[in-house]
Chains A and B, each alone.
Chain A
Amino acid sequence: MLEGLVSQESLSLNSMDMSVLERLKWVQQQQQQLQQVVYQSSNNSHELLQILQFHGSNNDDLLQSSFSPFQMLGSGFGPNYNIGFGPPHEAMDECISRTSSCHMEPVDTIEVLLKTGEENRAIALKNKRNPEVKTRGEEKTEKKIKVEAETESSMKGKSNMRNTEASSDTSKETSKKASEIQKLDYIHVRARRGQATDRHSLAERARREKISKKMKYLQDIVPGCNKVTGKAGMLDEIINYVQCLQRQVEFLSMKLAVLNPELELAVEDVSVKQFQAYFTNVVASKQSIMVDVPLFPLDQQGSLDLSAINPNQTTSIEAPSASWETQSQSLYNTSSLGFQY
Chain B
Amino acid sequence: IENTSESSPESRRKKPRISEMAEIESRRINEESLKRWKTNRVQQIYASKLVEALRRVRQRSSTSTETDKVVSGAAREIRETADRVLAASARGTTRWSRAILASRVRAKLKKHRKAKKSTGNCKSRKGVTETNRIKLPAVERKLKILGRLVPGCRKVSVPNLLDEATDYIAALEMQVRAMEALAELLTAAAPRTTLTGT
| A contact set with B: CB distance below 8 Å | 182, 184, 186-187, 189, 206-207, 209-211, 213-215, 217-218, 220-222, 231-232, 235-236, 238-239, 241-243, 245-246, 248-250, 252-266, 269-270, 272, 274-276, 278-280, 282-283, 286-287, 290-291, 293-294, 296, 300, 302-304, 306, 320, 324, 327-328, 331, 339
Contact (A269, B189) CB under 8 Å given A245-B173, A282-B184: yes
Per a CB cutoff under 8 Å, which of A186, A211, A248, A290 touches B176? Answer: A248
Shortest Cβ distance from residue A72 to the other chain B in the assembled complex, whole angstroms:
30
Q: How far is the CA of A254 from the CA of B179 in the complex (A)?
A: 11
A293: B residues at CB distance < 8 A = 40
Per a CB cutoff under 8 Å, which of B54, B79, B82 touches A263? Answer: B54
Contact (A242, B172) CB under 8 Å given A214-B30, A262-B194, A272-B51: yes
Determine, out of B97-105, B106-114, B128-136, B163-171, the stretch whose residues face the partner at the interface. Answer: B163-171
Check A239–B146 contact: CB distance below 8 A.
yes
Contact (A275, B47) CB under 8 Å given A206-B1, A221-B34, A266-B190: yes
B162 at the interface (CB under 8 A from A): yes
Check B162–A218 contact: CB distance below 8 A.
yes
Interface residues as binary, B26-65 with A (CB distance below 8 Å gives 1, 0 otherwise): 1000100010001010011001100110110110000000
Q: How far is the CA of A266 from the CA of B51 in the complex (A)?
A: 12
Q: How far is the CA of A246 from the CA of B146 in the complex (A)?
A: 13
The 4 A-B residue pairs whose C-beta atoms are closest, nearest first, are A253-B79, A254-B75, A235-B142, A257-B74
Per a CB cutoff under 8 Å, which of B76, B176, B193 touches A245? Answer: B176
Check A265–B193 contact: CB distance below 8 A.
yes
Contact (A262, B177) CB under 8 Å given A242-B165, A254-B71, A276-B44: no
Q: How far is the CA of A254 from the CA of B73 in the complex (A)?
A: 9
Check B82–A253 contact: CB distance below 8 A.
yes
Q: How far is the CA of A75 from the CA of B145 in the complex (A)?
A: 64
Shortest Cβ distance from residue A100 to the other chain B in the assembled complex, whole angstroms:
35
